[in-house]
Structure 1
Amino acid sequence: MKRYKLRIDGPSGKIETVINDPGPERIGIALIAHPHPLHGGTLDNKVVQTVADTLLSLGYVAVRPNFRGVGMSDGDYDHGEGEVEDMLAAYAFVQPRYPDLPLLLAGFSFGAHVQNQIGHKLNAQQVVLIGPAVNMFEFGDVAPNATIIHGGKDELVPLEVVQTWSEAQGVKLVVLEGADHFFHRKLSQLKQTLVELCQC
């Protein structure tokens, strides 16, 4: 198992990226997107870290870029458009180094908004939208092969809003009872849910 911290080339400069590689038994690439850059979202967010650690333990190469303007990434916040470009650039860097591995997309909150767009651009085996902020951003149609994980007591993105969107889209919704938006004291449940989703 190896950990790399890199600054890779992106459309608005360098993109700070952490890559955790499980080694020869790797089963896929997991590209993980963090919450809103203007509200403290980084690749070290505890939900993002939990997702990365869980997928790494399952054999995925876990790739966590910092969006433009965050940490050591160049550029400025771009309302989701440039952030999509950043994630695509990160994948373009990683994919040739791990050819023929299936792709899993995972995003939390604003990151789910970004990944939902990328799911329409890349052929992902799975798209996991965690706490998708559907009341704050225009999600449009859900990406193929998507599953939503949402807290039953999300105070920022009410469950009812997500239920309405998921039902209209015909997409699977997994509700973590008692969980708020940031999954305080519910990260173990989030981890178990991810394991079950990825081992189906």
Structure 2
Amino acid sequence: MPEVIFPGPAGRIEGRYHPSKRKGAPIAVILHPHPQFGGTMNNQIAYNLYYTYVKRGFSVLRFNFRGVGRSQGSFDHGVGELSDAAAALDWVQSINPEARTCWIAGISFGAWIGMQLLMRRPEIEGFISIAAMANRYDFSFLAPCPSSGLFVHGSEDRVAPVKDVVPVIEKVKTQKGILLEHAVIEGANHFFDGKVDELIAVVDDYLDKRLGASEEETAALPPPPDPVEEEAGED
């Protein structure tokens, strides 16, 4: 899990990058929760999503948005963070020029950024959006949504209540062949406290369906180390 520093629009960006051993392997980029409410690339959900893609043979990058950790710059209310995400995708593509496809996985604020990036980058073929705050951020730009993906929420999420979020997701327009799925984790709050394993199991099931299981690669890899830092999450 090597540390990396790459250029971004506001200065250097700090990340963690795991290259695949397979030539032409797909790319995954993980986007963390809100920078002003404790969100970093070491958030426990971001960390687990990172290894979810690693075990499937992806080249995976997670990084800190501007102003977080050793990433330069300051919070920019989503505008600059979208530029950071684009720069991160550019960087990982530059060292994986044979990769044809990419997946985006975002948590809360990161899910909003990820879906905007999805609209701008046709090579993104799938997404995972966890605790997307569709009640607080405008998702109407998904018209139509260009790629299939999965939304996941907790039934006890008081930041983005399911009853407020589901109608927004259902209004997202899709084109032929694009399917949007929505899963609800019973008893989970916005941070999935005590429910991260259940969350990752749901994501794994979805990726099995989309990509196929990768048991051989998974068996060959050791379990991920404990994260150095786990964030409580964001408001």
User: Fold conserved (TM > 0.5)?
Assistant: yes
Tell me the matched-pair count.
Answer: 198
Matched, 1:167 2:167: no
Q: Deviations over 1:119-153 (max 9, x none)?
A: 00112110111100112222223342232111111
Give the CA deviation at 1:26: 7.1
Structure 2 residues without counterparts, runs of 5 or longer: 174-179, 210-235
Is the 1:107–1:113 contact (alpha carbons within 8 Å) kept by the matching residues of 2?
yes
Structure 1, 27-36 or 142-151: larger mean CA deviation: 142-151
Is the 1:30–1:104 contact (alpha carbons within 8 Å) kept by the matching residues of 2?
yes
Q: Which residue of 2 aligns with 1:179?
A: 188
Is the 1:26–1:60 contact (alpha carbons within 8 Å) kept by the matching residues of 2?
no
Structure with bigger strand share is 1
3-state SS, counterpart of residue 87 of structure 1: helix
Tell me, in whole angstroms, the C-alpha distance in 1 between the residues paired with 2:111 and 2:182: 14
3-state SS, counterpart of residue 119 of structure 1: helix
State the structure with bigger RCO (CA 8 A, min sep 6), 1 or 2.
2
RMSD of the TM alignment (CA)?
1.5
3-state SS, counterpart of residue 119 of structure 2: coil
Q: TM-score, normalised by structure 2?
A: 0.80
Is the 2:134–2:169 contact (alpha carbons within 8 Å) kept by the matching residues of 1?
no
Structure 1 residues without counterparts, runs of 5 or longer: none
Change (3 A) 1:117 1:139: same
Q: Deviations over 1:93-119 (max 9, x none)?
A: 110211232100010000001001000
Larger radius of gyration: 2
Tell me, in whole angstroms, the C-alpha distance in 2 between the residues paired with 1:58 and 1:194: 12
Q: Which residue of 1 aligns with 2:220?
A: none
3-state SS, counterpart of residue 58 of structure 1: coil
3-state SS, counterpart of residue 88 of structure 2: helix
Q: TM-score, normalised by structure 1?
A: 0.93
